Amino acid sequence: MKLVHVQSHELLDSMCKEVSISNIEQRRKGCVYSAIMHSIEKGNFEFVFGMVRTNQNLVWCRNENGSSIFSLAVRHRQAKIFSLIHRLGVKKTMTTQIDKKGNNILHMAGMRGASILLNRIPGAALQMQRELQWFKEVESIVPPKIKESFNNDRLTPRELFTKSHKNLMKEGEQWMKDTSTSCSVASALIITIMFAAVFTVPGSNNRDTGIPIFLHEKFFMLFIISDALSLFSSTTSILMFLGILTSRFAEGDFLESLPRKMIIGLSTLFFSIVAMMIAFSAAFLIMLQGQSWTFIPIVCLASVPITLFILMQFPLLADMFISTYGPGIVDKKMEKWV
């Protein structure tokens, strides 16, 4: 693999040298333009970067539909290639170009991304969020008049986005509702258990004073604190999930509002499960005084549901957090062309 990588770089360097001394006709016969466009579709950043750095006039090449390299990069959601537009002095000119169908670069962002790219993102809601992030990113660099321009179908970029993402938004709404409903059930069960546990403490209470019998045991305070934390965090969790279920599910909500509620809901649900297992372990150890050999088996068994929850839900939580609060799609500090 290392040998193939080295040879690929050598081949690219050789092609770049030939391109640098070639004229327009030679580049057309040599399929240079079509190779660049195909590389953009496939996300071959090194080839595109090497070619355009060799001859900056290639930045103006177009495909058979009249789409520029940056419009095509947006259409196929190639972030690294699109990031290079921030290092160009002709950014304004590049963003105002239109193809044969009247689509500008913001129209390209309004079209739904290819399924093969969206399928890499878990959940329809996160897919919708990523599409909105692309649209917002492109919208931030285009002149104001581009936002209201029409294509040949008499659609503005925003209208095209709404039309092409209608089904994805419905899928995202259903995904959010199904996930929130399932997690709400788990949160409600934890609330019920933890609320009841406060009034049925281990060993019960003294009949005369009403004070818990094991009040001065070292694990009793751990039981009370973890029980309270579990109750409060699960209550917060169910409120977040209820907030999702009662949301209006507008386009803009998928950008940050809904993912933020889901992140808080899943995080507090995880915390409540951990606290519940600690409370259970503490209560068990209080009841088995003097049986120190039971400590390790109890802790190991209590860690099983926590581990399962992490394996099943943590990847989704991590992806959602990175997608919402991460560095974003475009790297504005990308290396210059020259």
Across the range 25-43, mean pLDDT stands at 85
207 within domain boundaries? yes
Rounded CA gap, 306 and 263, in Å?
17
27 within domain boundaries? no
261 within domain boundaries? yes
Contact between residue 85 and residue 76 where contact means Cβ atoms under 8 Å apart: no
128 within domain boundaries? no
Domain that holds residue 188: 168-325
190 within domain boundaries? yes
25 within domain boundaries? no
Predicted confidence at residue 338, as pLDDT, reads 46
Predicted confidence at residue 271, as pLDDT, reads 93
Cβ neighbours of residue 253 under 8 Å, at least 6 residues apart?
247
List pLDDT tens digits, range 189-221.
999 988 887 777 665 555 555 565 655 667 778
Q: What is the DSSP letter of 335?
A: P
Rounded CA gap, 197 and 38, in Å?
63
Rounded CA gap, 22 and 27, in Å?
6
pTM of the model: 0.83
Q: What confidence tier does 172 reach under pLDDT thresholds 50, 70, 90? A: very high
Tell me the sheet residues that pair with 212: 205
316 within domain boundaries? yes
Rounded CA gap, 17 and 138, in Å?
33
Q: What confidence tier does 108 reach under pLDDT thresholds 50, 70, 90? A: very high
Rounded CA gap, 259 and 323, in Å?
9
191 within domain boundaries? yes
Q: How many domains are contained in the chain?
A: 1
- 216 — phi, psi (to 5°)? -95, 10
Rounded CA gap, 278 and 245, in Å?
30
Q: What 3 state SS string does 37-81 have? A: HHHHHHCCHHHHHHHHHHCHHHHHCECCCCCEHHHHHHHCCCHHH
